[in-house]
């Protein structure tokens, strides 16, 4: 990756589990500070694609370039840990540790990846809780939180290291419209505050329309189309159009090809 404007580049990425092909020939270029939404039917490979960015899943072939490092070729935990400090993921279910307080959940990446003092960690945790609007939740446990609060705490943990790239897996799944608006506002605010690049997996066309600089549509394990939200709305591609309009008759296959 030689283009300095790019934050990430996927080149011919492929992945299968046993005989099931999940991703094939994934090619994407994502610019710095861009918010890219990845759309597509369930099971088309969206979450697998972003998990490969932090080494939770390794591709079978192809390259993923970040800061001139090919993440697909990393084969040791030390180098993956260095990547995970710079690329953070907000998991769909928040993935909080129920045995830890909210404070300790958010502090965990700092204790794992940095040598900050106890006082510095405390300052950063409470500053981050303020950013997501939940300073009063510090000493609660995750089971005491609502779904919307868990999402925001998961987001706080993801941004505590001030990553260059934030990955969001269905950030508003299961949330009411008010909490969805909160999450959308946070995604936009964090881009401005940290100048970070964001990749958002979502099925919500309104969310994608409100946050996206660009959109990638995945279908049958491939990126079928990229463009602006307006270009998607005007697309004549029957599969893209069927997804945008919510027409199930054109989305009959998952990995059967185009």
CA 188 to chain centre: 14
Number of structural domains found in the chain: 1
Q: What was the pLDDT predicted at 250?
A: 60
pLDDT in tens, 153-170: 988 998 898 899 999 998
pLDDT in tens, 228-253: 988 988 888 888 888 887 776 665 54
Measured CA angle at 57 (ends 53, 63), to 5 deg: 50
**pLDDT band at 2; cut points 50, 70, 90:** low
**pLDDT band at 256; cut points 50, 70, 90:** very low
Give me the residues paired with residue 200 across strands. Answer: 37, 168
Average confidence (pLDDT) over 6-12? 94
Sign of torsion over alpha carbons 101, 106, 112, 114: negative
The Cβ of residue 252 has, within 10 Å, a number of other Cβ atoms equal to 10
Cβ neighbours of residue 196 under 8 Å, at least 6 residues apart? 33, 163, 164, 165, 166, 190
Q: Is residue 258 scored above 90 in pLDDT?
A: no
- Whether 71 is covered by a domain: the verdict is yes
Q: Which domain holds residue 231?
A: 6-250
Whole-structure pTM value: 0.88
- Whether 134 is covered by a domain: the verdict is yes
Average confidence (pLDDT) over 222-229? 91
Nearest-Å Rg of the Cα atoms of the chain is 18
- Whether 96 is covered by a domain: the verdict is yes
Q: What was the pLDDT predicted at 257?
A: 41
Specify the CATH number for the domain of residue 141: 3.40.50.300
């Amino acid at each position: 990756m030689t283009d300095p404007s790019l934050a990430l580049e996927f080149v011919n990425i492929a992945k299968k589990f046993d005989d099931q092909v999940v991703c094939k020939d994934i090619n994407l270029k994502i610019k710095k500070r861009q918010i890219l939404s990845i759309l597509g039917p369930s099971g088309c490979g969206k979450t697998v694609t972003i998990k490969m960015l932090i080494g939770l899943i390794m591709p079978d072939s192809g390259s993923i370039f970040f800061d001139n490092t090919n993440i697909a070729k990393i084969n040791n935990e030390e180098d993956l840990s260095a990547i995970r400090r710079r690329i953070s993921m907000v998991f769909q279910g928040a993935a909080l540790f129920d045995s830890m307080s909210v404070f300790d959940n958010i502090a965990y990446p700092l204790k794992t990846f940095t040598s900050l003092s106890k006082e510095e960690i405390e300052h950063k945790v409470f500053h981050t809780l303020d950013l997501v609007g939940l300073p009063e939740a510090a000493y609660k446990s995750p089971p005491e939180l609502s779904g919307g609060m868990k999402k925001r705490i998961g987001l706080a943990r993801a941004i505590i290291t001030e990553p260059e790239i934030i990955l969001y897996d269905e950030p508003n799944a299961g949330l009411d419209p008010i909490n969805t608006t909160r999450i959308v506002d946070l995604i936009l605010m964090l881009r401005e505050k940290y100048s970070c690049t964001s990749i958002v997996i979502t099925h919500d066309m309104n969310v994608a329309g409100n946050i996206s600089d660009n959109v990638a549509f995945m279908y049958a394990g491939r990126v079928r189309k990229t463009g602006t939200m307006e270009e998607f709305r005007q697309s004549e591609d029957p599969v893209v159009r069927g997804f945008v309009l919510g027409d199930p008759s054109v989305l009959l296959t998952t990995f059967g090809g185009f």
